Chain A
Amino acid sequence: MDYSEMIHKDLIFLNEDAPDRKTLFREVARKLKKAGYVKDSYEKALNLREDKFPTGVVLPELSAMLPHADPVNVNKPFLAIVKNAQPVRVLQMGYNEPEDATAMFFLGITDPSQQVGLLQLFMDLLQDKAFVEKFKSITDPAVMYQFFVDTFKAQAVDK
């Protein structure tokens, strides 16, 4: 399946500088809302879910998080790509141990059965050294957009 359609040019935020998770969520939720991807309920749902079930993941090359709210709060599927200048203290999925994340991938899931493959593919990519190095080096949103679309398209052809 080709997940490149979930990457959107207007959902790549590489210059965030929030001091903490809640501020970051507020900023990103505001932008997602403005662009029509999520409902009014999204920010609250996102925070509630993160408090209860954290989404931080510590990978060998990257400390990231994958915030997501229940599908009912999402209008259209997306993967928003976010870099925050300062590390944000979050908790790790499964273990609830602290982690300082600098990369955030907000998943907008509307239909789990359709989009779950994206998360699986994405977890594998985040452990691919070449992918992560390239991701870290890119500062231009247009370049990031193309990088993700090309990567996802190539993966879709492979499978």
Chain B
Amino acid sequence: MAKIVVACGSGVASSEVTASRIKDFFDSHQVKGVSVDATDFKQLPEVLHNYDVYVWIAKPNQQLEELAKENHIAVVNGMPIFMNMNPEKSYKQIIQALKNMQSANK
């Protein structure tokens, strides 16, 4: 199962909203078998390696960017999804990352 993590500053508000919007998007586009979790910046360095896609609401610092790169995790700007302002590009990047994963597994 593909795993997506959404991370904001505290994990109480914007990451939850964004995760819920991504889930709705998957539901309405018949995308199945993808889990979406919300977390905060504090937890992220410890859990990031468990995920396939990292959607950021608070800009990733260098440590997180390197961690994502080392673990081959796709990094996607989640702000357009959170604000619901032209989110298509971010959704496309997420779908593309999931497709890349699928073909890498084959």
A residues engaging B (CB < 8 A)? 49, 52-53, 57, 59-60, 66, 68, 70-71, 93-96, 107, 109, 112-113, 116-117, 119-120, 123-124, 127
Q: Which of B9-17, B43-51, B67-75 contacts A (4 or more CB under 8 A)?
A: B9-17
Binary A-proximity of B68-99 (CB < 8 A = 1, otherwise 0): 00000000011100111100000000000000
Q: How many residues of B contact A (CB 8 A)?
A: 23
Residues on the A chain within 8 Å of B21, using CB: 120
| Residue from B41, B56, B59, B78 whose CB has the most chain A CB atoms within 10 Å | B59
15 contacts between A and B (CB under 8 A): A59-B85, A68-B12, A70-B10, A70-B12, A93-B14, A93-B57, A93-B58, A116-B16, A117-B20, A119-B13, A119-B14, A119-B16, A119-B17, A120-B17, A120-B20
A110: nearest chain-B partner, CB-CB: B12
Q: Are A123 and B82 in contact (CB under 8 A)?
A: yes
* Given A112-B13, A119-B16; 16 other pairs, CB 8 A cutoff: A52-B9, A53-B58, A59-B85, A66-B13, A68-B13, A93-B14, A93-B58, A94-B58, A109-B12, A112-B12, A112-B16, A116-B16, A116-B17, A120-B20, A120-B21, A123-B82
Q: Are A94 and B17 in contact (CB under 8 A)?
A: no
Q: Which of B11, B13, B59 meets A107, CB within 8 Å?
A: B13
A69: nearest chain-B partner, CB-CB: B10
Q: Which of A59, A94, A116, A127 meets B79, CB within 8 Å?
A: A94
- Interchain CA distance A16-B21 in the complex, whole Å: 34
> Is B4's CB within 8 Å of the partner chain A?
no
Q: Are A109 and B13 in contact (CB under 8 A)?
A: yes
Q: Are A95 and B59 in contact (CB under 8 A)?
A: yes
Residues on the A chain within 8 Å of B14, using CB: 93, 119
